[in-house]
Amino acid sequence: MLPLDQQLGIIKRGATAIIEERDLIEKLKRGTPLRVKLGVDPTGADLHLGFSVVLRKLRQFQDLGHHAVLIIGSYTAQLGDPSGRNAARPMLSEDQVMAFAAHYLDQAAVILDRSRLEVRPNGEWFSKMSFMDVIRLLAKTTVARTLEREDFSTRAAGGTPIYLHEMVYPLMQGYDSVAVNADIELGGTDQTFNLMVGRDLQREAGQEPQVCITMPILEGLDGVRKMSKSFGNYVGFAEPPAEMFGKLMSISDDLMWKYYELLTDLPLEEIAALRRGVAAGSHHPMRVKKDLAKRIISFYHSPAAAAEAETAFERVFSNREAPEEMPAVALASLPMKAAEGELDVIALLTGAKLAPSASEARRLVQQGGVSIDDVKVTALRIRMPAVSSFVLRAGKRRFARIVTGNREPS
């Protein structure tokens, strides 16, 4: 293992808080591998860069010689984590959770070393509990303590229902730490309460309390809300390189520094030098952002794919050319509502999957973000182009070739 100070430098990179750092130092001084726990509730099939922040930290512990324990919330995911929620999550079946878990592990393997990963579904211990065991677990905390959580207190003050099964969730996550005898638990800042419950339960069980390391929540492409598929501001692990490149180039200059620190292995002193160069005018921010995009894409795909994505970006955005490859959509397959000889632009955009909803399609048109063969569309109904196909563009990155079936004019 590396010397203590070097281990601490790697562990502290990007971390928001370490509770307690003195406990972490004492554990590291022993020189034996620590059990580092990360609990995940697979509630969807696809991972995005927001998930990678804590996964990358777990990989760093693996590389330092420690033992990574990934808890699959086969039971907790059925309840749904209330952290950061202003309403109850829908409950899932165990079959749904385990199906999502298989996809999660396949994608997480891009970051984690599966050969050195202990994977434990928490149904392994919760399925064996009797009702009296559950009551004993509930007796470990109070309603008042649980209501200290900001999300619960906010909901209580606003009259939004808080269900009893949601209040059990922190105890279940905390008990996971007891079950695997965790030395360290990782989580986002929104997990702080749950992680601290783990420390309390370990003390009661006669175990040494775990160290809690929280990582920041990664803002999405809008730079405001956390990265989330529901907000549409995400970059997925498995997205095509060109799509990833275009999305990453859309983030703000300020946000890219956080992405550099949390999503790349570039040394912090080099990131600081780049930042000084941008501030001094010796480095162009677009060039630095392109380097960020290539580093991220190289990791999830390959350096060759990153280079190709940069070339495609230059062609489409710098030279304003349409991409060489784009989806082809038959006009006859779309639910058009316009009169004969006209195009319903809203139906065209949503049917070609260039806009997720009619309201978003309307907004794109109103803001001048829609064009047909490089001619801006300014109305919601337009005359049908007398061509066999045309390129429909929505925003900066979305293209489709619409096949009309018309004969080309002579």
For residues 235-257, average pLDDT: 92
Q: Where are the alpha helices (DSSP H) in 159-250?
A: 164-180, 192-204, 241-248
How far is 76 from 82, CA to CA, in rounded Å? 11
Percent of the chain with pLDDT over 70: 91
Q: Which of 47-56, 77-86, 141-150, 203-212 has the lowest mean pLDDT?
A: 77-86
- Between 273 and 315, name the one with better pLDDT: 273
What pLDDT sits at residue 357?
A: 85
What are the structural domains, with CATH classification, of the chain? 4-215 (3.40.50.620), 241-318 (1.10.240.10), 328-403 (3.10.290.10)
Predicted model pTM: 0.76
For residues 394-409, average pLDDT: 72
For residues 152-164, average pLDDT: 80
Alpha-carbon distances of 398 from 170, 316, 322, 335, rounded to whole Å: 42, 10, 10, 20
For residues 131-145, average pLDDT: 87
Question: Residue 231: which residues within 8 A CB-CB, separation 6 or more?
Answer: 220, 222, 225
Band of residue 208 on the pLDDT scale cut at 50, 70, 90 = very high
* Inter-residue contact 401 to 330 (CB < 8 Å): no
pLDDT at 155 exceeding the cut of 60: yes
What pLDDT, in 10s, does the model give residues 90-104? Answer: 666 777 778 888 888
What pLDDT sits at residue 164?
A: 79
Residue 182: how many CB atoms within 10 A of its CB?
28
Band of residue 117 on the pLDDT scale cut at 50, 70, 90 = very high
Peptide bond into 20 cis (omega under 30): yes
Alpha-carbon distances of 190 from 16, 148, 214, 216, 217, rounded to whole Å: 11, 13, 8, 9, 8
For residues 248-277, average pLDDT: 95
- Cross-strand partners of 67: 35
For residues 183-202, average pLDDT: 94
pLDDT at 262 exceeding the cut of 70: yes
What pLDDT sits at residue 409?
A: 41
What is the chain's alpha carbon radius of gyration, rounded to the nearest angstrom? 25
What pLDDT sits at residue 16?
A: 96
Average pLDDT value over all residues in the chain: 87
- Between 267 and 93, name the one with better pLDDT: 267
What pLDDT sits at residue 81?
A: 54
**H/E run at residue 50:** helix 49-63
pLDDT at 253 exceeding the cut of 70: yes
* Inter-residue contact 185 to 198 (CB < 8 Å): yes
What pLDDT sits at residue 314?
A: 83
For residues 75-80, average pLDDT: 75
What pLDDT, in 10s, does the model give residues 309-363? Answer: 998 888 776 555 666 667 888 888 877 766 677 888 898 888 888 888 888 888 8
Instruction: Classify each residue of 334-366 as buried b or exposed e, where b means 16 or more C-beta atoms within 10 Å of its C-beta.
Output: bebebeeeebbbbbbbbbbebbeeeebbbebbe
What pLDDT sits at residue 87?
A: 46
Band of residue 408 on the pLDDT scale cut at 50, 70, 90 = very low
- Between 101 and 122, name the one with better pLDDT: 122
